A = this chain, B = another copy of it.
Amino acid sequence: MSNPLLYSHQFLATGGQCNAGGTMSLPVLVQAIIDVATEHANALNIGFERLRTFNAAWVLSRLSIQMDRWPGVNEEWTMTTWIENWNRLYSDRVFEITDAQGNVIGNARTAWVAIDVDSRTPADLTQLHPETMIYAEKKCPVPRMRKLLPVALDTATVVRDYQFLYTDIDVNGHVNSVRYVEHILNLWPPALYAKYPLCGFEIAYIHECFYDQRVAIAAIETQPDDTGTAHATVDILRDGERAVAAAVTFRKKS
């Protein structure tokens, strides 16, 4: 692939990366999204080293994933990414997931902000001269993330308490983006995922959480509709305030 505005990385879904359903797990996909974004940003010289020159760091703000099919054990798959759009505050980066035959099996959309490492406030992205980095020839079918209604603790259908531990914390000193995803998935037992595998996931990172903080992870679930699709809206609440909002889509195993 010769166009530097498109970047691809090939992966193997090892058994160790797969869930009890025999398919690659969502946290592995989210980590790959973050890693491939990082690699492409480095290649474009808008990565960690460049942002460090103005005391900033990339932080994932929003993520939406739609999967038609998950890679199985020992299956090769490829992630391709490009920058779709860019403004002063957000960089919109999208992803296509393909199997070894080149079939598209999923897509993802992310929004990134650069935060000032000291003030924790957003940095101005226009200083990266981004207009030349947009790739307009491919389209991502995942819509921009919708606004998620808050989950009130007293109407939640499932709630779990959690206190952040050492391995939750990343290089930015706050809770790692992938960890929130895992804590949300842990609201449900393996038996649910066996019948209703995940097919969609959206998450908005609103406020940073830190080591030792206690949160409530609360969800409102819907019953499956005629097509066997069920939804859950999830909030991670710290002192009653929404730190993370998410939505999970399950689809009855065919």
- Residues on A facing B (Cβ under 8 Å): 12, 14-20, 22, 25, 27, 31, 34-35, 38-39, 42, 47-49, 57-58, 73-74, 165-167, 169-173, 176-178, 182, 185-186, 188-190, 193, 211-212
A27 contacts across to B, CB distance below 8 A:
167
A14 contacts across to B, CB distance below 8 A:
34-35, 38-39
Nearest B residue to A21, CB-CB: B171
Nearest B residue to A192, CB-CB: B166
Count of chain copies: 2
Pairs A-B, 9 closest by C-beta atoms: A18-B171, A165-B186, A14-B38, A16-B34, A167-B182, A48-B74, A14-B35, A15-B171, A20-B169
Bound together, the chains give a CA A152 to CA B226 distance in angstroms of: 54
Known A-B contacts A47-B74, A165-B186, A189-B212; A170 and B18 likewise in contact (beta carbons under 8 Å): yes
Among A34, A167, A169, A190, the one with the most B-chain Cβ atoms within 10 Å of its Cβ is A167
A212 contacts across to B, CB distance below 8 A:
189
Bound together, the chains give a CA A173 to CA B193 distance in angstroms of: 13
Bound together, the chains give a CA A171 to CA B57 distance in angstroms of: 35
- Residue pairs across A and B with Cβ atoms less than 8 A apart, 7 shown, are A12-B42, A15-B57, A19-B169, A38-B74, A166-B188, A167-B182, A190-B211
A48 contacts across to B, CB distance below 8 A:
15, 73-74
- Residues B49 and A74 in contact, CB atoms below 8 Å apart: yes
17 new A-B contacts at CB < 8 Å, known A12-B39, A15-B57, A166-B193: A12-B42, A14-B38, A14-B39, A15-B38, A15-B58, A15-B172, A16-B177, A18-B170, A19-B171, A20-B171, A25-B167, A38-B74, A42-B74, A166-B186, A166-B190, A167-B182, A189-B212
Bound together, the chains give a CA A74 to CA B193 distance in angstroms of: 35
Bound together, the chains give a CA A27 to CA B27 distance in angstroms of: 14
A18 contacts across to B, CB distance below 8 A:
170-171
A20 contacts across to B, CB distance below 8 A:
169-171, 173
- Residues B171 and A73 in contact, CB atoms below 8 Å apart: yes
Bound together, the chains give a CA A185 to CA B165 distance in angstroms of: 9
Bound together, the chains give a CA A188 to CA B169 distance in angstroms of: 12
